[in-house]
Amino acid sequence: MSEKDITAYLTENPRMIGALFTLVLLLASAGNTAAVLAPSFNGP
């Protein structure tokens, strides 16, 4: 997908902007949590 396609899609579906933003926040939060908890796992 090109940048124009994504821009056009988000223009036609403005609710997806909020959904994508929420998804990015969720992934960032999960990444931070994994980074904090990783040293406490000893592994197999």
Domain boundaries, the chain: 3-32
> Which pair of tokens denotes residue 17?
């902007």
Per-residue pLDDT of the chain (44 residues; tens, 9 = 90+): 788 999 999 999 999 999 999 999 999 888 888 777 777 667 67
Collapsing DSSP to helix, strand or coil, 2 comes out as coil
> Which pair of tokens denotes residue 38?
């990783």
Residue whose entry in the numeric block shows the structure tokens 């933003």: 21
Can you list the pairs that 33-41 forms with residues at least 24 positions away whose Cβ atoms lie under 8 Å?
A: none
How far are the Cα atoms of 6, 29, 38, 43, 44 from residue 34, in angstroms, in the given order? 30, 9, 6, 14, 17
pLDDT of residue 24: 93
